[in-house]
Amino acid sequence: MTPNFRPATEADAPAMADLLNRIIETGGTTAHQSRFDASRMLGHYIAPPLAISCFVAVLEGEVIGFQALELADPDWQGDGKLPDGWAVIATFVGEGHRGLGIGRGLFALTLAAARAAEVVAIDATIRADNALGLGYYAQMGFADHAVISDVPLRDGTRIDRVQKVIWL
């Protein structure tokens, strides 16, 4: 079966949170370390203040993936501050649905939204130990542009974050 791709709505927030929470619990493929509820999902991915888009992939009524894009925060004070006109992307696909073109389908919609918003470049910041994420963004045309070194996880483990970019 082929999934349906569409804009995320507030009603999708619980299912999106469940999907991301399963990814967090598995570990190793997201920088997130604390669980999401519907409210946090809404504010962080579906409708944050600098939102450009958030799309879901739905198969047989189940959210199996989502991708969010927002303008880079001009007031960011930490490592990895991005220039004006850049956006940041986040992609999550549920276990059992990876490698089936879900990310590619989501990215086609996100790329169109980025162009409509006149985004200059999209940044994907990925944990250096996330081989799946690094490979996905490389397949979408992203190239390495920086590394944020030695970022501590909650358990004290330190891991680099690779910043990848695609120019529009």
- Can you tell me the mean pLDDT for 110-125? 98
Q: What end-to-end distance do the CA atoms of the chain give, in Å?
A: 32
Per-residue pLDDT at 27: 79
- The mean of the pLDDT values for the chain is 94
Which sign, positive or negative, has the C-alpha torsion 67, 73, 77, 82?
positive
Amino acid at 60: E
Q: Which two tokens stand for residue 40?
A: 């946090």
Q: What order of strands is seen across the sheet that includes strand 4-7? A: 4-7, 51-59, 62-71, 86-93, 121-127, 158-167, 143-152
Percent of the chain with pLDDT over 90: 83
The DSSP symbol for 12 reads: G
Q: Which of 127, 113, 31 is nearest to 71 (CA)?
A: 113
- Residue that has been written with the tokens 């910041």 in this structure: 125
Determine how β-strand 121-127 pairs with β-strand 86-93. parallel
List the domain range (segments joined by +) for residue 154: 4-167
CATH, residue 76: 3.40.630.30
Given a cut of 90, whether residue 29 has pLDDT beyond it is no
Tally of structural domains, the chain? 1
Per-residue pLDDT at 137: 98
Given a cut of 80, whether residue 6 has pLDDT beyond it is yes
Which pTM was predicted?
0.95
